[in-house]
Structure 1
Amino acid sequence: MRVGITGHRGLSGEVERTVRALIEEAVTAYGTGTGNAGLVGVSCIADGPDTWFARAVLDHGGRLEVVLPAARYRADLPAWHHSTYDDLLRRATEVHRTGLDASGPDAHMAGSELLVDQVDVLLAVWDGRPARGYGGTADVVTYAREHDVSVQVLWPEGATRD
């Protein structure tokens, strides 16, 4: 089973705790029956849901594949996240690249499209609202649905992003 992740970053502590638990449940469920070694998680390994998912996959004995939206993607992530990003990138069994150099909305959407094209199921940490900018979670969910990739939304009932 190949499972990907997309989702909102910068969640409040309470929402983060609930989302982490939902990701953990999803990873456990998708690994059941395939032996978790059969589970492949695909992530862009940004801070937030991408990283929580990647760690859960590895912690459950699955394999991690990483999508790099751009050659300079790491530089656009928070400095405090770089060591985690580097660790997860080292642990990846495969790295997919868009071929783009500059990071930004176009590269992020290209990376998300490449990710969706690699998976059977997309987990979406999504509040159900429109994207705040091109390449946001809503855009990724729309792309997945247009390409017949199953989407499982992971969002705590009643939670808000702000």
Structure 2
Amino acid sequence: MRVGITRHRGLPEDIEEKARALLAEQVERFDAADLVGISRIADGPDAWWAEAVLKVGGRLEGVVSFWDRKPSCSFGGTADVVAYAERMRAPCTVVWEGGER
């Protein structure tokens, strides 16, 4: 089953532990063998959702990023998302004027 997340960035740090627990509870409702998580993998709940899906043995949809390969201007920018997707072993394609990476 493909399950996505819609989230809010910039959440207060003091709710991270509770939010991660709530996301883990939701992930555990699905059969891990069939679970495909869909996430932009931005900072906060998007990344926490992706981690929870992988932790139970699910997998992630691939990421296609339109990125100029420059560092992020702020935390959670495209460079951070691409690096995180690669660390999580999610299929990741970077598209830019110079072609795919």
Q: Same fold (TM over 0.5)?
A: yes
- Unaligned runs of at least 5 residues, structure 2: none
User: Which residue does 1:14 correspond to in 2?
Assistant: 14
Partner deviation per Cα, 1:51-86 (whole Å, 9 max, x = no partner): 00111111110011134453349735517x83x752
Change (3 A) 1:38 1:89: same
Partner deviation per Cα, 1:120-153 (whole Å, 9 max, x = no partner): xxxxxxxxxxxxxxxxxxxxxxxxxxxxxxxxxx
| 2:63–2:85 contact (8 Å) kept in structure 1 | no
Change (3 A) 1:27 1:96: farther
Structure 2 CA distance for aligned equivalents of residues 50 and 76 of structure 1: 19
Structure 1 CA distance for aligned equivalents of residues 24 and 93 of structure 2: 24
- Unaligned runs of at least 5 residues, structure 1: 102-162
Change (3 A) 1:29 1:76: farther
TM-score, scaled relative to structure 1: 0.47
User: Which residue does 1:145 correspond to in 2?
Assistant: none
Structure 2 CA distance for aligned equivalents of residues 87 and 69 of structure 1: 12
- What is the count of residue pairs matched by the alignment? 94
**Residues 1:54 and 2:50 are matched in the alignment:** yes
Per the TM alignment, residue 20 of structure 1 is displaced from its structure 2 partner at its CA by: 1.0
Change (3 A) 1:26 1:70: same
2:52 maps to amino acid: A
1:50 maps to amino acid: D
Structure 2 CA distance for aligned equivalents of residues 45 and 66 of structure 1: 11
